[in-house]
Amino acid sequence: MLTAIMGAPLLLYLVYTGGAVLFLAVAALSCAGLWELKTLLRKKGFEINAPFSFSLGLVFLLWAYGGFSAAGGPIVFTVLLLAAFVQQVASRGPGGVVNALIMPGAVYYTFGLPSFIISLRGLDSGRELALLLLLAIWCADTAAYFGGMVFGKKKLAPGLSPNKTVEGAAAAIVAGVTLGALLAGILDLKIGIPWVWVPFGRRGISMTTGALI
């Protein structure tokens, strides 16, 4: 609770400010997240290449920030990914194939998803959209808690998180998407209601899966 009370104003400030401040904050959090995930994977017997993983993640963030052209980002990412695959297989043999296949998912989870807030912030009305996204996420998180507490019956993934329920996850997605669409319409952000459902639905789903991990 204390972390949320202290972290929420800081997060709002970073999103409101945007620019290099937001980029550096997201980069720091993403690096910490990837390192933690790498440590967890190692305990399970998997080993992803740290230099390649962090380099791929940095490409994600720079692309979102506008550091690459529309075609340049995917090209650089693909070249690095192929180089990482070759390195993993060459150094670890058949076991390296599994590690190489795990790496893109680990990078996307820790860098790709957070990069969305940078991309969103760079749009017209990006400040309002990014702040709206945070409100929708917090609303979804609250709905998941109370929805699961009141209506929760079927466990979502008991082996990973015994307290998460299907009903709570559904409440999170519905609440986040609905709030995002309604506030976008009320604030007249002129982005089209159908477009709004995609990012807010995506964040609701990623928030649910992220909570399991």
Whole-angstrom Cα distance, residue 199 to residue 205?
10
Asked if 51 and 103 sit in the same domain, the reply is: yes
From 119, 139, 163, the end of a domain falls on: 119
From 66, 87, 119, the end of a domain falls on: 119
pLDDT in tens, 70-104: 778 888 988 998 998 888 888 766 677 888 889 99
- Is the C-alpha dihedral spanning 130, 7, 109, 174 positive or negative? negative
Asked if 111 and 129 sit in the same domain, the reply is: no
Asked if 11 and 47 sit in the same domain, the reply is: yes
Contact 30, 57 (CB under 8 A): yes
Mean pLDDT within 153-174: 76
Asked if 101 and 129 sit in the same domain, the reply is: no
Q: 198 in helix, strand or coil?
A: helix
pLDDT in tens, 131-153: 888 888 888 888 888 888 878 77
pLDDT in tens, 5-60: 667 788 888 888 889 999 999 999 999 999 999 999 988 888 888 999 999 999 98
Asked if 51 and 93 sit in the same domain, the reply is: yes
Domain assignment of residue 18, given as a range? 2-119
Number of domains in the chain: 2
Render 41-66 in DSSP notation, one character per residue.
HHHTT----HHHHHHHHHHHHHHHHT
What is the model's pTM? 0.74
Asked if 42 and 135 sit in the same domain, the reply is: no
